Amino acid sequence: MNPAARIGREIRFLSGLARTLWRVRKIDSDSDDLICDDFENAVDRFEDHTALIFEGQRYTYRQLDALANRFAAWADGQGVKTGDTVALLLPNRAEYIPAWAGLAKVGAATALINNNLTGAALAHCLRISGAQHVITDKETLAAVETIRAGLAKPLTYWVIDGEDEGESRRKLDLHEPKLPPERPSRGRRAGLKARDVALYIYTSGTTGMPKAAKITHTRAQLYMRAFAGATNSNAEDKVYCALPLYHSTGGLCGVGAALLNGGTLVLRRKFSATHFWDDVADNDCTIFVYIGELCRYLVNQPPHPKERAHRLKLAFGNGLRPEVWTEFQERFGVKNILEFYGSTEGNVSMFNFDGQPGAIGRIPGYLRGSFAVRLVKFDVEAEAPVRGPDGLCLLTDVGEPGEAIGLIKDDARHNYSGYADKAASERKVLRDVFELGDAWFRTGDLMRQDAEGYFYFVDRIGDTFRWKGENVSTTEVAEVIARYPGVDEANVYGVKIDRIDGRAGMAAITPGAEFKLDGLRDFLMRELPNYARPLFIRMTPAIETTGTFKYRKVDLVRDGFDPAKIEQELYFDCPETHTYIRVTPEVYAKIQSGGFKL
């Protein structure tokens, strides 16, 4: 890199970093200012600006605030107290942000439930939320019927635009005169501090069921304010979001970039590659929030007449692979890409402000002392950091993969709130790392850092893998498959498909006498969300275990779904026939060449 280019890179990096740090500088865990105060401040500044466009309907900041106030009034009417939790089980829709903002105004926390969940996973998430009330809609209410295990205590489901159906199914009419659009007094949330919980966002780990990450007001403010600064958005920007609002990337980062700066959030219920460019161009969008998988879908689409007839100046998000990155920019003419790294529950975050393809962030050497992020040597087989003769962890060398960890301190940027489950929280803490008594958050991600300070993602530690932008717990999926009649054993893992981000689910099944393949697909469709259903099924007479009786997956992952390496029956969930078909060499070649829409 020549001197002029190097100087330009540093200017871009430092400008982005300065904007971001400036926006988060006043966040204080002991403050009385909560995330709903940030929302109200934006409303007061941009009252009549368009805040949200959803399915052809426009909402001003004032109108969104009125909706939020109605949710606050509803909570008051139901006796929801400060510190209580209400569950939100909704798809993307206009009421989503006002719902949690309104509940925050009366001191309640909101559990953001993945609306794709069904069965035992849905019951688990509702149960651990501690909520008595669930806000949902007619579309999502059907998922409640799949809960078979039951709940320890009865819940009341409040259905937006629904009808009363007994005590457990109640209509939530946001036009009801008894739900005033005026703001509740700030005294209604008196005593709450920014360190208190505002939201629960669920994340899948390796324990088999989703875990509820505690998102304090501090953490929510960090997400929203940071991206308002990092994206450099303004009141003229329109941010396109087709990501689910129950996740932090869309629901906090994307929302913050739009609403805290007076811009407009253009919200879609679900992502559609075929409608994307029409949406972006027709709504005059200038910023797009992504996960890498969405960008891959777009570059795999045939040419669209509007794919360069748009005003997108920035795409920001995470998980954009290097090979997709360059093609996405060059084909669609999106000048700037802002890739970032962060986890819902963790304290490690970084930005790639200067657009280095494939990098998830950067900490240059001259700023290393200002950022408490380190890579430690990691033993993949033992799944533990390597410790030296003195018992302390060892830093990686340049280019060497290691686990990313973040120093835990009691301030806004470095605090670790953990999960609702204290035991799960403690498992993410690494102690006595570089000195006795210190504590660091374990990201569970392997990364490498080059000599210029850029970080690159290598792999996820453990059994959890990502598919379609979601974390898939192999333990959870295996437990579901094991409930199917005739399954003696099930071993679930992720396999790579050429040119596709993440790993597709695959299950090695030992069938018993009662096993019938014909009914398995329908069973899994009922029991698992789309992203968690295995794409491949491998029949095996026995599943190899380790000396400690853990399922051995190394050889299975190496074989993948290649019929040349597998003697047993091998099936593919074909998206064209919606049935399992045998994986022949021809089918294998078609999958690897992108011949199926996955």
**103: its two tokens:** 């509940």
| Residue 430, C-beta contacts closer than 8 angstroms, at least 6 positions apart | 376, 385, 393, 405, 439, 440, 441, 442
Which of 210, 221, 214, 219 lies closest to 200 in space, CA to CA?
214
Classify 566 as helix, strand or coil: coil
Which 8-state DSSP code applies to residue 27?
Answer: -
Are the C-beta atoms of 544 and 491 separated by less than 8 Å?
no
Whole-angstrom CA distances from 332 to 112, 224, 282, 327, 329 are: 33, 27, 16, 8, 6
CA 425 remoteness from chain centre: 18
Q: pLDDT, tens digit, for every residue of 36-47?
A: 999 999 999 999
Largest CA distance in the chain: 72
Angle among Cα 459, 465, 466 to the nearest 5 degrees reads: 95
pLDDT of residue 479: 80
Angle among Cα 224, 228, 230 to the nearest 5 degrees reads: 110
Are the C-beta atoms of 447 and 405 separated by less than 8 Å?
no
Tell me how far apart the alpha carbons of residues 23 and 193 are, in angstroms, rounded to a whole number. 19
| Residue 280, C-beta contacts closer than 8 angstroms, at least 6 positions apart | 240, 288, 306, 310, 312
pLDDT of residue 485: 92
Whole-angstrom CA distances from 68 to 131, 145, 229, 244, 248 are: 19, 28, 25, 19, 19
pLDDT of residue 466: 79
pLDDT of residue 481: 92
Q: Which residues of the chain have pLDDT under 50?
A: 205-207, 546-549
For the whole model, what pTM was predicted?
0.83
Fold of 31-40+50-229: Rossmann fold (3.40.50)
Domain boundaries, the chain: 31-40+50-229, 365-460, 465-592
- Tell me the H-state helices in 454-574: 474-482, 517-527, 554-559
Q: Can you identify the CATH homologous superfamily of domain 465-592?
A: ANL, C-terminal domain (3.30.300.30)
Tell me how far apart the alpha carbons of residues 34 and 38 are, in angstroms, rounded to a whole number. 7
Q: pLDDT, tens digit, for every residue of 498-543?
A: 988 888 999 999 998 899 999 999 999 999 999 999 999 999 987 7
Instruction: Locate the DSSP E strands across 333-380.
Output: 336-342, 349-352, 361-362, 373-376, 378-379
* Residue 270 burial by Cβ neighbours in a 10 Å radius (0-12, 13-18, 19+): exposed
Residues facing 289 on adjacent strands: 241, 316
φ/ψ of 382, rounded to 5, equals -80, -15
DSSP characters over 239-292 = EEE-S-TTSHIIIIIIHHHHHTTT-EEEE-SS--TTTHHHHHHHTT--EEEEEH
Secondary structure tally for the chain: helices H, strands E:
17, 30
Other residues' Cβ atoms within 10 Å of the Cβ of residue 445:
22
pLDDT of residue 460: 74
pLDDT of residue 545: 55
Tell me how far apart the alpha carbons of residues 141 and 157 are, in angstroms, rounded to a whole number. 8
Specify the CATH architecture of the domain 365-460: Roll (2.30)
pLDDT of residue 381: 63
24-55 in b/e form (b: 16+ CB < 10 A) is beebebebebbbbbbbbebbeebeebbbbbbe
Tell me how far apart the alpha carbons of residues 458 and 401 are, in angstroms, rounded to a whole number. 7
Are the C-beta atoms of 120 and 144 separated by less than 8 Å?
no
Whole-angstrom CA distances from 138 to 91, 100, 103, 144, 247 are: 11, 19, 21, 11, 21
Which of 428, 453, 493, 439 lies closest to 213 in space, CA to CA?
428
Angle among Cα 551, 556, 560 to the nearest 5 degrees reads: 150
Angle among Cα 343, 348, 353 to the nearest 5 degrees reads: 95
Which of 397, 398, 348 lies closest to 371 in space, CA to CA?
348
